[in-house]
Amino acid sequence: MMEPITGISPDPNKVERVIWKLHGRICVRTDKLIALLMALQWPGAIIAAFLVSAKTWNGAQSSIHPHVLIAIYLGGLITVLPVVLAFLYPGKRFTRHAIAGCQMLMSGLLIHVSGGRIETHFHVFGSLAFLAFYLDWQVLLTATLVTLVDHLAMVYYAPAAIFGTTIGVNERLIEHILWVVFCDCFLITSCLQSQKALRRIATREAMQDLLLHQAYHDALTGLANRLLIQQTLTEMLSGATPEHAFALMAIDLDQFKEVNDTLGHAIGDLVLIEVSRRILEEICDQDVLARMGGDEFVLVIRECSDAASAERVAGRIVHILSQPFACGGHTIHIGGSIGIRLSRGGGVSIPDLFHHADLALYKAKNNGRNGFCTFDEAMLAETLHQMSLEHRLRIAILDQTMSVYYQPIVTSGSSLLGFEALLRWNDVVHGNVSPAEFIPIAERTGLIVPLGNWVLQQACRQAATWHRSNRSIRISVNISSLQLAHKDFVSVVLATLKETALPPELLDLELTEGTLIQNHGETRNALDLLHKYGIRFSIDDFGTGYSSLSYLRDLPVHTLKIDRSFVTDIATSDEARLLVEGMIEMAHSLRLRVVAEGVEDSGQMDILRNADCDEIQGFLISKAIPALDAGHFLNDSSLEVANDASQPQRPVGKRITAVAS
């Protein structure tokens, strides 16, 4: 027998439903069994009446004893009702009580037609025993009551017909009643014990159903879980035909982590429940929605002829998820991104289906979230390419086969101020890989921390080499948000300065606006500490990040670097020129220096000079070059700025800026 599992109990209503179902099946079988027995007892009563009752002859004609006629007509009447009810209304309460009454009347009929023979009285006990199959003590009470009424009536009207004699009728009646009551006590006790056993069976079955449900369903939302969705897909793929198509959708909630972090997991759970309810309202009953864990859902649309049909469903889901959620007294705004994978005729494994849907989901997120995307083979090729790049990147970091190049930064008067060191990667498999391609991979995988630390070390070592040659210059290194958030960031920077013997005032760390905004309190503590050592800070790609400028006042920032996207059109667009001039004026009012990035022609240079831009950087000055070539800028003191970006010259001056990007 199954032992109860601590802490888990089935729903009492579920147990009662299981009991009702099991007892119903027992009653249906017993209805038909006793109805069949009664159909056999009827001819048995006729035969008994014919054999036992006396025959009388009157001349050449014979007459049948009245008991035979009673057995034929009354027995048929008693038999028809239970047989009809047993097949028309099996398992009903009134059916089993009617059968019980008719069965006891049949016992009385047999006693009557046999002239009260003692052996026929045992038929009553046999009938009660069969009726105990119902496991319903109330049925036994009905049978006992019918037997009592039958015996009392027969004792009053025809005592000889029931006891075979008129002598001691009352004593015989009392004796018979006591025997029936004695039999009932045993049978009712047996029924009650059987009902307890039935309850134990029902509890065990309900527990098994509960455990099975928990194994295949999500405890929070009641949706299918990973096991059930995989089982569903297995069944669909095994029976797939070339004409049959279905869609698998990977659904991920946008900004749900912020809900958990700010409002707590209790409110997050309410949001997940409401998300489940909304999606269920948008799909057909035959479709399967599953929660895979966290804020990830999977939807299987069983009948989906083409991508347009799946995208219509995805569009409705994206729309309903973008509507506000009212949970726990809060109005919550999230969203949803969906990846769609169509499948026709099988031929693909379940892991591949999930993988392809996830690829489409990631692309939907990269496209701005709160949308959907359908998988195509190009996504798979791109994924394989990204995997290969990640593998080669890990090897490059481990073997230190990447290079740091330096791009000069000059004053508006063409004096050399420094270099921006740009990370370059020439891989033996993929060739020259753009930083725009491998830096996001490094950030996603966490490799940006060791990579950024290596760039910091290389840039500081090169600047220290120049410093020891009596050419003191500044070196700037871009710092990613992951580096800045690392607990060892400050100690790594200070240890690098100590190891390379570079004076702290010659190091300029560049950070983006987004990096400064994230974990503002911790960021400020780290920057304040490094600032005390004399390290300078610049804001890279200014104007492309967050709109809040409070960090310019709160943080120890020295320089703003205007992003190349603002500089590109200043020679052809008055709006672009006015915007850049406004940035420069604002920075100067805050006593900050300004660097213009991406300067590529003399027209841009002239506009920036007239706007009092402090520093210039771009192809007009020079492209990024190796450290050996950068040293020439320190040795040459009489060069002028080139007039054409395709033929960069070396300006004079003494400052270097290095950036890990």
Nearest by Cα to 454 from 414, 500, 386: 500
Give the range with max mean pLDDT: 200-204, 487-491, 520-524, 551-555: 487-491
Long-range contacts of 236-239 (CB under 8 A, 24+ apart): 236/300, 236/302, 237/343, 237/346, 237/348, 237/350, 238/346
CA–CA separation, 630 and 470 (whole Å) = 15
Q: Give 183 or 499, the one with higher predicted confidence.
A: 499
Across 567-583, average pLDDT: 93
pTM of the predicted protein model = 0.59
Across 599-611, average pLDDT: 93
CA–CA separation, 602 and 596 (whole Å) = 13
- Min mean pLDDT across 121-125, 491-495, 598-602, 628-632 is at 121-125
Residue 649: pLDDT above 50?
Answer: no
Residue 329: pLDDT above 70?
Answer: yes
CA–CA separation, 362 and 358 (whole Å) = 6
| pLDDT for the residue 630 | 86
Residue 396: pLDDT above 50?
Answer: yes
Across 315-328, average pLDDT: 93
Residue 548: pLDDT above 80?
Answer: no
> At 544, is the pLDDT very low, low, confident or very high (cuts 50, 70, 90)?
confident
> At 54, is the pLDDT very low, low, confident or very high (cuts 50, 70, 90)?
low
| pLDDT for the residue 2 | 42
| pLDDT for the residue 10 | 72
- Min mean pLDDT across 10-14, 139-143, 435-439, 623-627 is at 10-14
- Rounded to the nearest 5 degrees, what angle is found at the Cα of 34, between the Cα atoms of 96 and 186? 75
| Beta pairing, strands 325-327 & 330-332 | antiparallel
Across 155-176, average pLDDT: 66
Across 68-86, average pLDDT: 86
Q: What are the helix (H) ranges across 407-447?
A: 435-445
Rg (Cα) of the chain, in Å, rounded?
46
> At 417, is the pLDDT very low, low, confident or very high (cuts 50, 70, 90)?
confident
Cβ proximity of 224 and 216 under 8 Å: yes
Structure confidence by residue, pLDDT tens digits, 253-312: 998 988 988 899 999 999 999 999 999 999 999 999 999 989 999 999 998 888 899 999
| pLDDT for the residue 334 | 93
Q: Give 122 or 656, the one with higher predicted confidence.
A: 122
Q: Give 39 or 153, the one with higher predicted confidence.
A: 39
| pLDDT for the residue 175 | 73
| pLDDT for the residue 69 | 78
Structure confidence by residue, pLDDT tens digits, 627-647: 988 888 777 643 443 333 333
Q: If you average pLDDT over every residue of the chain, what do you get? A: 84
- Chain position carrying tokens 């016992």: 107
Residue 659: pLDDT above 70?
Answer: no
Can you name the CATH fold of 226-375? Alpha-Beta Plaits (3.30.70)
CA–CA separation, 247 and 340 (whole Å) = 7
Structure confidence by residue, pLDDT tens digits, 177-193: 788 888 888 888 888 88
Structure confidence by residue, pLDDT tens digits, 112-136: 777 666 566 778 888 888 899 998 8
The domain spans of the chain are: 12-211, 226-375, 388-538+622-653
| pLDDT for the residue 648 | 38
Structure confidence by residue, pLDDT tens digits, 97-107: 999 999 988 88
What is the DSSP-derived secondary structure letter of residue 55?
P
- Min mean pLDDT across 31-45, 156-170, 284-298, 421-435 is at 156-170
CA–CA separation, 3 and 9 (whole Å) = 12
> At 353, is the pLDDT very low, low, confident or very high (cuts 50, 70, 90)?
very high
| pLDDT for the residue 646 | 33
| pLDDT for the residue 57 | 34
- Min mean pLDDT across 549-553, 563-567, 602-606, 639-643 is at 639-643
Other CB atoms within a 10 A radius of the CB of residue 411 amount to: 17
Superfamily holding 388-538+622-653: EAL domain (3.20.20.450)
- Chain position carrying tokens 């027998």: 1
